[in-house]
Amino acid sequence: MDTYSGLQKLSVRIRDIYFDTDISRYISHIIISIILGLAAGGGAVLFHVSLGGMRDFFDPQNVGAFFSLQGNYIFIIPSIGAIIIVIMTRAFPVVARERGIISVIRSMILNNGFIPLKVTLFHFIAPIIAIGTGAPLGPEGPAAKMGSGIGSFMSQVFRLSSRNMKMYTAAGAGAAISAVFHAPITGVFFGIEVILLNDMKSQSMSGLIVSSVVADILSRAVLGNDAVFKIPPYSVGALGEYPFFLLLAVLCGIISLMYFKLNGFTNWLLNEKLRIKNEYLKLLPVTIVFGIVLLKYYQLYGLTYSVMNDVLNAQIPFETIIILLVLKIVFLSLFLHAGSYGGTFAPSLMIGVLLGYAFAVSFNYLFGLDLNAVAFALVAMGGILAGINSIPLTSIMLVFETTNDYRFILPLMLVSVLSYLVTLYVNKGTVYAIGLQKSGIDISPMGQVDVLSRIEVSDLMIRDLEKVNYRMPFRRLTDVLMQSRFGDVIVVDDGDRLMGIVSLRDVRQALLSTELTDLLIAGDIISPVPVVMEHDKVSRAMKTIEKYDLENVPVVSGDEQRKIVGLLTHKDIIQAYNRLLEEWETDRFIHDRRKKQ
């Protein structure tokens, strides 16, 4: 109790100093950034060590020796991990849904960077188990989520303002990326380009830089200063090779688009066509098939940096490279949509190495050229990373820093940017903007966020609404309609599922078109109406209302029953919009006043 009280007093003291004078604000900002860098770097080191320990523990030889088994039992390892992952997911379903970098960006937009500690802990442990048991995913997404969670938690402990919480949440994510890849500049660009959505502020920049540098220093001190990739001697070639780099850029964009198409197909297959709700039935079949594939292509198992080095050093046959390329893309999509945990940066690097190497070897064989396969493999790493993850600047810096080689920087920049532009043109947005839009968060080109995306339909909907059974006689229906507060009456079936609505216009049309109104029931004159779900963002519901020129829209449950649960009115949305806009402008005003004082 005394320790907690002392921590509270310390946090209050730091907060008071932070807002006392300009110089003390800057000094305390640097101190907090250093502490955050140490914490995020330490977390990344712990993540790295734990992941290595998990991989060693589940090594097929160790598993066979532990259970006194003979033969290669690698095929069962991913399924063991899947069972553990599903148990965790079912035990903490709400926390489990907050996965990936998208959830961090969403928390920045909707909650000013607030991330509950339990979310950080869950998404620290789950990816270690998943990747440690062979899932073909990367550590950078979980590491960034861990770093942002540490930044958010520190801000909560020190009781900093919401704007400072956003700043340190972004800085923590960048610091973790810096520590994982030994790439401090990449950490800074990642924080700006991904977490902050290119919304650069000078103070955010300084926090990102300090935290990323400190985290990298700590990581190198503990884990060593070895380069990730062992690159053999190579040459970029003459100016005449640049048309082939342009062709490689387009190919990287096409492969990235194929990955997105595969994502859409996988999501449709699992969630719409097969409608698999059980987590075991969704993930276990994928891991079983993956385990069988591993018997032949062990190179797909878990983290694949050693495999990338083997490709660069011509240790893997060309035919195997082509097969690994296809399988890596397929299983990356399957694992992510089946419910596993991990990132896409490291897999993107492997896809790039395989693609670039195969590209150069193929052109050399078919046309008698002398393209350097190593150079094209390195450049394609940036192209695929930029295409799949919509991060051209971060991709350039990540490949540059992890290779410690400047010679191929020009084609790397060219291929990374062009690949990104290809996917941006076809998809009409970055992967993060599209992901946020699916969550009901609409980001304008100027980086401003629709305030209605901060609340769900269930927060505004009217639960006490007039609804009638479809068997209700016409005369009784008109009485209910005349007393309705909204001018419409919702008609439901015997299972309380929405069938449509009846308005005064429908009643008037019935009276004009038939004299046998006494024989009519509510189900005879209903009109179809679009619906929204209770967990949709209000911004999405507003688009529905505007599209169909409605005053009210029925709200249905998000499960398969689709029962009517409420009514959302245009009037309530406008009132909520004005209230949220006033709160947002007040927050900006307070922040601006503090800056001027």
The CA angle 16-18-19, to the nearest 5 degrees, is 75
pLDDT per position as a tens digit, 477-508: 888 888 877 778 888 888 888 888 888 777 87
Amino acid at 256: S
Rounded Cα gap, residues 457 and 568, in angstroms: 7
Supply the pLDDT for residue 354: 97
Q: Which is more confidently placed, 99 or 125?
A: 125
Supply the pLDDT for residue 570: 83
Rounded Cα gap, residues 304 and 456, in angstroms: 41
With H, G, I as helix, E, B as strand and everything else as coil, classify residue 301: coil
pLDDT at residue 325 above 70?
yes
Supply the pLDDT for residue 561: 63
Supply the pLDDT for residue 10: 65
pLDDT at residue 4 above 60?
no
Report the half-sphere exposure of 206 (CA within 13 A, side-chain side).
Answer: 11
Domain extent listing, the chain = 2-223, 239-438, 452-579
Supply the pLDDT for residue 253: 97
* pLDDT band at residue 95 under the 50/70/90 scheme: very high
Supply the pLDDT for residue 391: 93
* pLDDT band at residue 44 under the 50/70/90 scheme: very high
pLDDT per position as a tens digit, 67-92: 655 556 788 899 999 999 999 999 99
pLDDT per position as a tens digit, 222-267: 998 887 888 999 988 788 899 999 999 999 999 999 999 999 999 9
Supply the pLDDT for residue 447: 40
With H, G, I as helix, E, B as strand and everything else as coil, classify residue 372: coil
Q: Could you tell me the CATH superfamily of domain 2-223? A: Clc chloride channel (1.10.3080.10)
Q: Residues 193-196: contacts with CB within 8 Å, 24+ apart?
A: 193/391, 193/393, 193/394, 194/101, 194/105, 194/144, 194/391, 194/394, 194/432, 195/101, 195/104, 195/105, 195/108, 195/144, 195/148, 195/169, 195/170, 196/108, 196/170
pLDDT per position as a tens digit, 275-287: 888 999 999 999 9
* pLDDT band at residue 514 under the 50/70/90 scheme: low
Give the chain's largest Cα–Cα span: 91
Report pTM.
0.76
Supply the pLDDT for residue 594: 42
* pLDDT band at residue 581 under the 50/70/90 scheme: low
Supply the pLDDT for residue 591: 43
The answer to whether domain 239-438 has CATH 1.10.3080.10 is yes
Instruction: Judge whether 239-438 and 452-579 match in fold.
Output: no
Q: Token pair for residue 459?
A: 């927060």
First to last CA, the chain: 37
Strand 532-533 and strand 552-556: the pairing is parallel
What's the CATH number for 452-579? 3.10.580.10
- Say what percent of the chain tops pLDDT 90: 47
Rounded Cα gap, residues 335 and 130, in angstroms: 10
Rounded Cα gap, residues 321 and 431, in angstroms: 27
* pLDDT band at residue 217 under the 50/70/90 scheme: very high
- Say what percent of the chain tops pLDDT 70: 86
What b/e readout covers 272-305, taking b as 16+ CB neighbours within 10 angstroms?
eeeebeebeebbbebbeebbebbeeeebbbbbbb
Q: Token pair for residue 89?
A: 């997911």
pLDDT per position as a tens digit, 434-492: 888 776 666 654 444 456 777 888 888 888 877 888 888 888 888 888 887 777 888 88
The rounded mean pLDDT for the chain is: 85
Q: Give residue for tokens 């032949």.
A: 296
